[in-house]
Amino acid sequence: MFLSADDIRHHIEDSFIVCPCDVKPHTPEWEEFKKNRLACIEGSGFDITLYKVFSPESGSFSPFIGKEKRKLPLFRPLYNDDKKDVPLFLYPGYYLLQSYEVISLPPSLGGLVLPRSSFFNAQCLTQGTRICPGFSGQLRVALWVVGTDGVILEKGTRFATVLFFPFTLGSTDPYAGIWYGDKVTTDDVERAY
């Protein structure tokens, strides 16, 4: 059972499960964010918006995913800070999209990150993931630009939807991975699970 729009609003306003990555709660900027972001609830999902686009560094190494450890490619941001509001042209290929919003889940909630259909129409495939209880950070979504003409993305565009759900009674194991905050690469070898 997914949270209703009313429940999502309640959690945003009272529990701060969704915050901007660059604004502190209880400030005028936070109040403006809440007002604008509550409009991003569609149906019973919360739309996350584009903050940064990353591409894999070419020729870095072949990814390794093993039983005990893994080593993943390095990614570099494509936005230049002095041109951060200029739409970005993406050639066909693979990218990571990072959300402007920080999602911070209590032990009683989980989430699913799902694609938005407008990306399909733009000849792009996106892939989200689950959000574990206790996770706190910006979300990453995979983007494959498959159309031969590429795609132009504007910072702040809605690129995925999060559905939140409660867990049944009982305790949950909190998120224990490395992908907190704004991390998009392992930078080195890490554990495999």
4-33 pLDDT, tens digit per residue, is 888 888 887 777 778 777 777 777 877 777
* CA separation for the pair 88, 177 (Å, rounded): 31
Residues 6+ apart with CB under 8 A from 179: 135, 137, 140
102-113 pLDDT, tens digit per residue, is 999 988 899 999
- Ordered structural domains, the chain, with CATH: 5-58+73-166 (2.70.40.10)
Q: Does the predicted model carry a pTM greater than 0.85? A: no
